[in-house]
């Protein structure tokens, strides 16, 4: 047999696409050639040396013929070392060492001794196999737990090329990996509890409202007032991940190569806190070669925390506008357009001025008005419009700081959040995503509410987008209050969460 075919997959964005791996062997001339065609990148071309060593060191020998490998379709770029295993298996098939692999999809990187190394995007590859009707997936044992979460495909985690050959010749001796699905309601011990926070009643209430309606929030206050402490506890009051949400988040983390070893599926909502020196590609996604998910996509179904917000380059912050508005990032490349999910909750924190003490009653601010204005201007109006709640986090008074009374726990707040979100799910969307066509119906106001809204828009000089977001926040407050109608008191509380527009930027 000189011609043999097997199947593998190429990652594009967060999706995988089926790739035919075809091998042809023919008598060698003066030298034995090993040629790979089908738009391979440098890592795929380098697989020639890994495959040769792996075959020899696994005891299979190497054919005394020239080898041509075609990765089809040829118009899809093939990247990474995950094609090592299917290419080596196809060569062995052409040598007669294994039988047909038509019902198998193979992926894995080879070490020189023939052992298998994990690859990126195992869950996406398993989903691809199921979608294309391929019943069995063979991949490194390190990826097995992740891939096994997909439905409709049997996953086998193997450790060595010799084990792959044994499996293909005697599959009855192997059992598929069972998916490890987490129990509903499992707590994350790494998230600290809200009861640790002393004082900051208004900030806690704002974060509860934000969690209940899936709203973005910005906290501003002096150093040491507890902004970071609050943000780190925010994920603990969010509802537990549903299985569908966990699948989406796991796919993104798997493709990005940041999924911890042995983790099958994410059990808790992502919490990403990049440093302010991050690049455009690091935050939004992209990079040289194939585009990778950025922090906004890694925070999909979770929280993106940007501490010291004005310290981020303004150009980087401005790129947040699309994902905050649309819940996705679209990256245009010369070979096509990729879309990464980015439905996240943004939590920003910043000082009121460079020294941090503007407006503080106990410490003097040494910044001039011009310096303060330039500092605040780093956060643009269009970006602020996409942040629903703006709250002040003042320094905690000594008596509250030393108080022994425990505040409400994260579990208590989360119960109220889940109840409010259950109301919203019956409508088909969270309040932060209420479409403009339904805003007047779901957020209908009486005469008192109309006067309150008009006064807020005039005094705070709110844009049309900020007006809509104010109504959405009021709708969330009403849901927490278990009220069908949005009353003036709900709207008044929502206005309090936009005071920074007037106190700082206006």
> What domain count does the chain have?
3
The two three-digit tokens of residue 343, written as one number: 């439905």
Q: How far is CA 353 from CA 221, 370, 375, 380, in A?
A: 9, 11, 6, 15
Distance CA 156, CA 138 (A): 5
Residue ending a domain, choose from 406, 428, 450: 428
Residue ending a domain, choose from 428, 449, 482: 428
Same domain, 490 and 358: no
Same domain, 391 and 243: yes
In a domain, 367, yes or no: yes
In a domain, 186, yes or no: no
Instruction: For the chain, 506 residues long, give each residue's pLDDT as a single digit of tens.
Output: 568 999 999 998 899 999 999 999 988 765 668 899 999 988 899 999 999 999 999 999 988 889 999 999 988 889 889 999 999 999 999 999 999 899 999 999 999 999 999 999 999 999 999 999 999 999 999 999 999 999 999 999 999 999 999 999 999 989 999 987 766 555 667 788 888 888 888 999 999 999 999 999 999 999 988 899 999 999 999 999 888 999 999 999 999 988 887 778 898 899 999 999 999 989 998 876 678 899 999 999 999 999 999 999 998 999 999 999 999 998 877 667 888 999 999 999 999 999 988 878 788 899 998 999 899 888 988 898 889 999 999 888 877 777 776 678 899 999 999 999 999 999 999 999 999 899 989 999 888 988 988 888 888 888 888 889 899 999 999 999 999 999 999 999 998 888 666 556 55
Same domain, 368 and 233: yes
Distance CA 411, CA 208 (A): 12
pLDDT of residue 237: 94
In a domain, 286, yes or no: yes
Cis peptide before 73 (omega within 30 of 0): yes
pLDDT of residue 402: 76
Same domain, 445 and 416: no
pLDDT of residue 207: 96
The two three-digit tokens of residue 119, written as one number: 């690859």
CB distance 420 to 480 below 8 Å: yes
Distance CA 442, CA 213 (A): 14
SS3 call for 68 = strand
pLDDT of residue 406: 66
Distance CA 498, CA 457 (A): 10
Closest to 9 in 3D by CA, of 291, 259, 288, 255: 255
Same domain, 415 and 459: no
Same domain, 162 and 281: no
Same domain, 414 and 502: no
CB distance 337 to 291 below 8 Å: no
Please report, for the domain that includes residue 55, its CATH number. Answer: 3.30.230.10
Residues 6+ apart with CB under 8 A from 202: 391, 392, 496
Same domain, 200 and 134: no
In a domain, 275, yes or no: yes
Please report, for the domain that includes residue 374, its CATH number. Answer: 3.40.50.300
In a domain, 136, yes or no: yes
- Any idea what the Cα angle at residue 111 is, between residues 106 and 117, rounded to 5°? 55
SS3 call for 72 = strand
Q: What is the DSSP letter of 146?
A: H
pLDDT of residue 335: 66
The two three-digit tokens of residue 66, written as one number: 């020239």
Same domain, 69 and 167: yes
Residue ranges making up the domain that contains 459: 434-506
Same domain, 149 and 212: no
In a domain, 178, yes or no: no
Same domain, 7 and 140: yes
């Amino acid at each position: 047999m000189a011609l043999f075919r097997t199947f593998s997959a190429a990652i594009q964005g967060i999706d995988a696409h089926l790739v035919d791996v075809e091998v042809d062997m023919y008598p060698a001339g003066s030298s034995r050639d090993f040629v790979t065609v089908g738009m391979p990148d440098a890592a795929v071309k380098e697989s020639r040396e890994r495959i040769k060593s792996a075959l020899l060191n696994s005891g299979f020998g190497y054919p005394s013929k020239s080898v041509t490998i075609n990765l089809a379709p040829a118009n899809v770029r093939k990247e990474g070392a995950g094609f090592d295993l299917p290419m080596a298996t196809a060569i062995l098939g052409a040598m007669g060492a294994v039988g047909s692999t038509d019902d198998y999809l193979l992926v894995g990187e080879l070490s020189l001794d023939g052992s298998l190394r994990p690859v990126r995007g195992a869950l996406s590859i398993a989903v691809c196999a199921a979608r294309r009707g391929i019943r069995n997936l063979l991949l490194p044992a390190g990826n097995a737990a992740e891939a096994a979460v997909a439905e409709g495909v049997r996953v086998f985690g193997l450790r060595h090329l010799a084990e792959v050959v044994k499996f293909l010749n005697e599959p009855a001796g192997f059992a598929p990996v069972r998916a490890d699905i987490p129990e509903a309601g499992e707590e994350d011990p790494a998230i600290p509890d809200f009861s640790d926070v002393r004082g900051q009643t208004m900030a806690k209430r704002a974060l509860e409202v934000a969690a209940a309606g899936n709203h973005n929030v910005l906290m501003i206050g002096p150093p040491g007032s507890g902004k970071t402490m609050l943000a780190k506890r925010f994920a603990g009051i969010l509802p537990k991940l549903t299985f569908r949400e966990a699948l989406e988040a796991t796919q993104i983390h798997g493709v990005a190569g940041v999924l911890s070893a042995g983790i099958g599926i994410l059990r808790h909502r992502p919490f990403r806190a990049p440093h302010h020196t991050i690049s455009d590609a690091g935050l939004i996604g992209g990079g040289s070669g194939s585009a990778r998910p950025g922090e906004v996509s890694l925070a999909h179904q979770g929280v993106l925390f940007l501490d010291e917000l004005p310290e981020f380059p303004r150009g980087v912050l401005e790129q947040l506008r699309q994902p905050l508005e649309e819940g996705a990032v679209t990256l245009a490349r010369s070979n096509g357009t990729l879309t990464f999910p980015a439905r996240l909750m943004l939590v920003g924190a910043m000082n009121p001025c460079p020294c941090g003490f503007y407006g503080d009653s106990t410490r003097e601010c040494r910044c001039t008005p011009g310096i303060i204005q330039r500092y605040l201007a780093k956060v643009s109006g269009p970006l602020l419009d996409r942040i629903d709640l703006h709250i002040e986090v003042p320094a905690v008074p000594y008596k509250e700081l030393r108080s022994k009374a425990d505040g409400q726990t994260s579990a208590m707040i989360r119960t109220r959040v889940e109840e409010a979100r259950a109301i919203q799910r019956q409508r088909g969307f969270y309040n932060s995503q209420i479409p403009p066509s339904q805003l007047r119906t779901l957020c209908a106001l009486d005469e008192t509410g109309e006067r309150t809204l008009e006064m807020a828009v005039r005094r705070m000089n709110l844009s049309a987008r900020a007006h809509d977001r104010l109504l959405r926040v009021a709708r969330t407050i009403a849901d927490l209050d278990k009220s069908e109608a949005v009353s003036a008191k709900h709207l008044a509380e929502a206005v309090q969460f936009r005071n920074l527009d007037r106190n700082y930027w206006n």
